[in-house]
Amino acid sequence: MDIKVLVDCKTILGEGPLWDVEEQRLYWIDSFGNKVWRATPEGKEIQTWDVPAKIGSMALRRKGGAVLSLQTGFHFLDFKTGKTELIHDPEPDKPTTRINDGKVDKKGRFIAGSMDMMESGPIGALYRLDPDLSVHKLEDGIICSNGPCWSPDGKTFYFADSWSEAISVYDYDLETGTPSNKRTFCSVKGTGGAPDGATVDAEGYVWMALVYAGEIRRYAPDGRLDRTIKMPVLKVTSVNFGGPNLDILYVTSMAKPPLPRFPEDGPLGGSLFAITGLGVKGVPEPRFAG
């Protein structure tokens, strides 16, 4: 196994690595820098797009461009013009929340949750943006939404409220886009970290960034801890498999903590990392169907 800095980009709050199998390009975001990044699997040919608010996540569209979760709601992004277009703001009456982490299910729906920007109160919610651009609330009472992802067959949904110190698992109805039967998948209490971005590999194991503890963890489908990777920074934020063979684990990190109570890092904070030699492959990320 080898861990290297792929791009020394110094993202304030790097998040959401996203490998696109069609373009053979890697995307990631700077949540507090209001920016979308793109590069080759080797970290070359870097391009960036500015967005008008804090960004929590993005997904590519089948029709071209991307769908974004911004502090001001769901938006489209046109890569050619750099312009964004509002789809819907589900929380216009909550000035202290923003939409955070999100991913697309196998039917092309975008699932993303909001968070309390002070990370203290359960005022966030989990939403589903359908291809017809309707928005549906799936759950509420969330402090910080993170790590939505699905089993390879799409029938099991994983999601974390980071400050619950646990990942939850749900049954997922692919026909309706509805999670149910919520239960605890695994706990990270006592680690000094919180569950952040996550992905699932081709074997159905869950990979999760343990932010503030500087670890990447792999969990078996039954919730058993299978592997731990110590990272050279504490504030690792999210993971996604990519590269031509889907066998490179891309890892984002943050240069500055979002709140004063969180730990500082060394000079590698904010870098985009690539981990090779894991002997594991990921699964392609679906595109939003709207």
- Show which residues are catalytic: 196
Ordered DSSP codes for 16-79: EEEEETTTTEEEEEETTTTEEEEE-TTS-S-EEEE-SS-EEEEEEBTTSSEEEEETTEEEEE-T
Cβ atoms of 92 and 101 closer than 8 Å = no
CA-based nearest residue to 63, from 112, 150, 114, 133: 133
CB atoms within 10 A of CB 150: 24
Q: Is 203 annotated as a binding residue?
A: no
Q: What is the rounded CA–CA span in Å between residue 125 and residue 144?
A: 9
Q: What is the rounded CA–CA span in Å between residue 232 and residue 32?
A: 22
Backbone dihedral angles phi then psi of residue 239, each to the nearest 5 degrees? -140, 150
Q: Is 181 annotated as a binding residue?
A: no
Residues belonging to the chain: 290
Q: Is 15 annotated as a binding residue?
A: yes
Pick left, alpha or beta for residue 109 (phi over 0 → left; psi -120 to 50 → alpha; otherwise beta).
beta
Pull the structure tokens for residue 36.
């979308």
Find all residues with CB under 8 Å of 6, minimum gap 6, and list them. 39, 42, 43, 250, 271, 272, 273, 274
Q: Is 146 annotated as a binding residue?
A: yes
Q: What is the rounded CA–CA span in Å between residue 133 and residue 173?
A: 19
Q: Is 98 annotated as a binding residue?
A: yes
Q: Which residues make up each annotated binding site for a divalent metal cation?
A: 15, 146, 196
Q: Which residues make up each annotated binding site?
A: 15, 98, 100, 146, 196
Q: Which residues make up each annotated binding site for substrate?
A: 98, 100
